[in-house]
């Protein structure tokens, strides 16, 4: 039995159009899947379908070996969800919000008391545990929402825009918390976001959605290999590479291309093993080489290249809604 996530042709229609069309993907247990795309791409619809909140019009899914439509209650006992808006009760304290969520799940007794105290401490909310949530910052609300989603120690965690509305410091804190959750107990995480910085730091796989359609899916490195030949690297020469230096670099076997930049040169090579030969060639020619650094494509690079190529093929400007926070 597959204990991760599998979808085949998953489709959801809405009166205004298609929310999700023929989504087919597979996520292994313990992986972090980033659902990427602009607003309205189908990310939230996917999360709701996988958690059994929405019913598909076609296709099917299995999460932890369960059908979200037929086994929704059983599945939700093993999953946790953090929505974009945490839906906390401002009249209650942080501790009371967690107690209320625990009672809804049927969790009571000394063990849940200890669990609530543990989560409040872990998520930096111990000092505000007995203060009303009203007046809490957006970052504090997000942390409390994460704590609530983990009360029952879920095997799969669905996070829908977990850092929207946060300042850079709070974003960093929440991303670090999510990263620690991803390494625990083989927990599978589905991260729906249009902030590429957080996705790049967390994701094992990426699924790019646009208008409900899956336009790219896989590990960022595998997708990068399909988009570009070789590996980009940067040479620090202390100054812009001269014409003679560029010719010397271009003459090394395995160098695909080279361009000057103010600090030296940027080149594309067939593999990182080519770089020592480039450095040796330059040093033999009397050049000072301060660094030769491979620059594997980031998730951001992959995402924007996919979007740019799709837009160019359709004769449209690329989407500008995905963000990389400072």
Determine the average pLDDT of the residues in 185-202.
Answer: 87
From CA 164, how far away is CA 14, in angstroms rounded? 25
The rounded percent of the chain whose pLDDT value lies above 70 is: 96
Q: For residue 322, what pLDDT is reported? A: 52
Please provide residue 89's backbone torsions phi and psi, each rounded to the nearest 5 degrees: -90, 110
Burial (CB count <10 Å: 0-12, 13-18, 19+), residue 316? exposed
3-state SS string for 77-123: CCEEEECCCCCCCCCCEHHHHHHHHHHHCCCCCHHHHHHHHHHHHHC
| Average pLDDT for 42-52 | 94
Residues 255, 269 contacting (CB under 8 angstroms): yes
CA neighbor of 158 nearest in space, from 311, 85, 265, 51: 51
Any idea which residue has 């203060």 for tokens?
A: 131
The CA distance from 295 to 303, in Å, is: 16
How confident is residue 84, by pLDDT bands cut at 50, 70 and 90? confident
Element (H, E) at 50: helix 43-50
**Distances in whole angstroms, Cα of residue 144 to Cα of each of 72, 102, 139, 149, 207:** 25, 13, 9, 9, 28
Let me know if domain 229-295 sits in CATH 3.30.40: no
pLDDT of 326 reads 34
Q: Give the β-pairing of 79-82 and 58-63.
A: unpaired
CATH architecture of the domain 5-78+154-224 equals: 3-Layer(aba) Sandwich (3.40)
Note the pLDDT of residue 194.
83
User: In the chain, which segments carry CATH 3.40.50.300?
Assistant: 5-78+154-224
How does DSSP assign 59-73, residue by residue? Answer: EEEEETTB-TTTSHH
Residue 106: partners with Cβ closer than 8 Å, 6 or more residues away:
none
Query: What's the chain's average pLDDT?
Result: 89
Q: What are the pLDDT digits (tens) for 106-160?
A: 888 888 989 999 999 988 889 989 999 998 888 888 889 988 998 998 999 999 8
Give residue-wise pLDDT tens across range 204-254: 999 999 999 999 999 998 998 888 888 999 999 999 999 999 999 999 999
pLDDT tens per residue across span 294-310: 998 889 999 999 988 88
pLDDT at 161: 86
CA-to-CA dists, residue 157 to 2, 49, 151, angstroms: 17, 14, 12
Please give the helix or strand (H or E) that residue 6 lies within, else none.
strand 5-14
- Tally of CA atoms within 13 A in the half-sphere of 296 that contains its CB: 11
Question: Whole-model pTM above 0.85?
Answer: no
198's tokens: 């957080």
pLDDT digits (tens, 9 = 90+) for 146-185: 889 989 989 999 998 888 877 888 888 888 888 888 877 6
Q: Does the pLDDT of residue 258 top 60, yes or no?
A: yes
Enumerate the CATH 3.30.70 domain ranges in the chain, comma separated. Answer: 229-295
């Amino acid at each position: 039995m597959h204990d991760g996530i599998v979808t085949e042709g998953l489709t959801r229609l809405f009166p205004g159009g298609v929310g999700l069309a023929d989504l087919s993907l597979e996520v292994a247990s313990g992986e972090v899947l980033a659902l990427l795309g602009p607003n309205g791409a189908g990310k939230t619809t996917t999360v709701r379908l996988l958690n059994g909140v929405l019913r598909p019009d076609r296709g099917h899914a299995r999460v932890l070996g369960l059908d979200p439509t037929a086994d929704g209650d059983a599945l939700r006992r093993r999953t946790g969800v953090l929505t974009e808006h945490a839906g906390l009760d401002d009249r209650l304290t942080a501790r009371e919000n967690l107690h209320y969520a625990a009672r809804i799940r049927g969790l009571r007794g000394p063990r849940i008391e200890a669990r609530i105290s543990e989560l409040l401490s872990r998520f930096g909310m111990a000092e505000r545990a007995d203060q009303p949530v009203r007046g809490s910052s957006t970052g504090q609300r997000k942390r409390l929402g994460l704590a609530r989603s983990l009360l029952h120690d879920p095997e799969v965690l669905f996070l829908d825009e977990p850092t929207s509305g946060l300042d850079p410091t709070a974003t960093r804190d929440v991303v670090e918390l999510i990263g620690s959750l991803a390494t625990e107990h083989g927990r599978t995480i589905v991260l729906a976001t249009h902030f590429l910085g957080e996705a790049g730091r967390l994701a094992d796989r990426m699924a790019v959605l646009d208008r409900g359609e899956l336009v790219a899916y896989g590990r960022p490195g595998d997708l990068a290999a399909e988009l570009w030949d070789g590996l980009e690297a940067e040479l620090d020469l202390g100054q812009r590479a001269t014409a003679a230096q560029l010719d010397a670099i271009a003459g090394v076997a395995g160098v695909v291309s080279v361009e000057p930049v103010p600090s030296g040169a940027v080149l594309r090579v067939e593999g990182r093993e080519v770089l020592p030969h480039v450095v040796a060639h330059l040093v033999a020619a009397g050049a000072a080489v301060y660094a030769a650094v491979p620059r594997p494509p980031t998730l951001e690079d992959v995402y924007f290249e996919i979007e740019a190529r799709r837009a160019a093929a359709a004769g449209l400007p690329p989407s500008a809604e995905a963000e990389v926070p400072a």
